[in-house]
Structures are given as C-alpha cells and as structure tokens.
C-alpha cells in the first residue's frame, strides 16, 4: 500500500482548471512519448509479483522481467504482453532488466484474462495508461475526479488526483501522481482480486523499446 506523503493525506477537494487539464493529458503524454519504463507491483496473499518492464504506447505492448516476492518464485522469468495475450519465458534466475532483444524461443502463450486474475488486470491497466488523444477535461469532474494531496516521487513534485477508472474491469477509482507538466509518475488501483492496490511506478529504469515477438500480434 502506498501511503500519501508530502502535504497528504488530505481531504479530497475539487480539481482546479490546471489540475483538470493535467489529468486530461497525462495518458496522451504517455502516447506522445512512445513508451515508458515502469515497475508494476502486483500484490497477493503469498507476497506478490514485481514486473520491471517497458511499455510501448503506440503498439500497446509490454516486455520485462517478472519476479515473485515472499514465498512464490514460480513465476520468475521474462514476460511480454498485449491487450489480448500474455507470453512468459520461465527463468530460475532472471536478470535485473530484460534483454533488449527477447529470446527467440522458450515462450509459453496464453490469453490475457479480463477478470479474476490480479496479474492480468495489472498488465491491462498499464497498457490502458496511454491514449492517442487527451481525455475530455469537461467530463473528468463529473466522473468523480478530485485532488487528494501532494507528494514527491523520485525527486518530482506531484499532485495526487483521484480519476475515473481505466477501462479494465476495475470498479475502483484510479489514483494518479502527476507532475506540473502532466507527466504520470505513479498510479495506484484497487483491484477486487488483490488484498492491496496494484502500484505502477514510472521512470524507475531506462526505457528500452519493446521488440516484437514472432507470432505475437500487437493491438493498435
């Protein structure tokens, strides 16, 4: 669970016009950037999973290293995913970051589940955090967007905003940590299948362009 720091926690209040505009463009800025480096923390009752990845917001694909925390290391290895498919490459001792060129073989493919599996929900959420157009700023306050505090994230001063949920089957509000220029630095989402929120931290390592895998089709 991420605790609010800086000037938070604070009582939620209405967004100012500047805050609304920054929230409206934050997903679009991810798309404009082409891709972002991200660390995804996926909780479960045995400890959880940590995925250190790059996400391409033009092709909506992700690729990285997954490691179990706590007692479960059975999922360790490489992971590559789209909005419909998850491919895993098991490794007993995965590297700190994924090799720039994914291995040509050793992948196991399965459909991405749209509900009931916290990992897949987290993978879908991070792909949804890029959009080829800004969100409708006029609708954000009507859909429950509020300001919730301030916090410094890896040296960046951010405003914490509660925004409408991503279209990924989650029923809870999404919490965004957004910089003064609209850059997204952290996202937290409560997921029904998880004991604690899924936390996504951006710019935790260097972004490496996501390379395609043979037989895997990105979803534009």
Per-domain residue ranges of the chain: 17-202
CA dihedral defined by 81, 25, 7, 199, rounded to 10 degrees?
-10
Q: Measured over all CA atoms, what is the biggest interatomic distance in the chain, rounded to whole angstroms?
A: 51
The pTM of this model reads: 0.88
CATH architecture of 17-202: Clam (2.50)
Percent of the chain topping pLDDT 90: 70
Residues 41-92 pLDDT 10s: 998 877 789 999 999 999 999 999 999 886 566 789 999 999 999 999 999 8
Residue 193 pLDDT class (50, 70, 90 cuts): confident
At 10, the pLDDT band (50, 70, 90 cuts) reads low
The pLDDT of residue 169: 43
């Amino acid at each position: 669970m991420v605790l609010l720091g800086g000037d938070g926690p604070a009582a939620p209040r209405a967004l100012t016009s500047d805050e609304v505009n920054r929230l409206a463009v934050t997903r679009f800025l991810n798309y404009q950037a082409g891709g972002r480096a991200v660390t995804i923390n996926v909780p479960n009752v045995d400890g959880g999973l940590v995925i250190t990845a790059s996400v391409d917001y033009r092709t909506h694909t992700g690729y990285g290293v997954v490691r179990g925390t706590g007692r479960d290391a059975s999922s360790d290895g490489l992971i590559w995913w789209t909005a419909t498919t998850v491919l895993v490459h098991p490794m007993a001792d995965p590297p700190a970051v994924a090799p720039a060129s994914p291995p040509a073989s050793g992948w196991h493919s399965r459909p991405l589940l749209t509900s009931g599996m916290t990992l897949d929900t987290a993978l879908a959420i991070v792909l949804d955090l890029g959009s080829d157009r800004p969100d409708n700023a006029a609708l954000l306050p009507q859909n429950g967007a509020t300001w919730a505090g301030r916090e410094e994230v890896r040296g960046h001063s951010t405003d914490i905003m509660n925004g409408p949920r991503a279209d990924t089957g989650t029923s809870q509000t999404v919490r965004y940590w957004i910089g003064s220029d609209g850059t997204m630095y952290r996202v937290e989402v409560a997921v029904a299948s998880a004991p604690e929120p899924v936390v996504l931290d951006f710019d935790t390592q260097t972004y490496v362009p996501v390379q395609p895998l043979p037989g895997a089709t990105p979803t534009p």
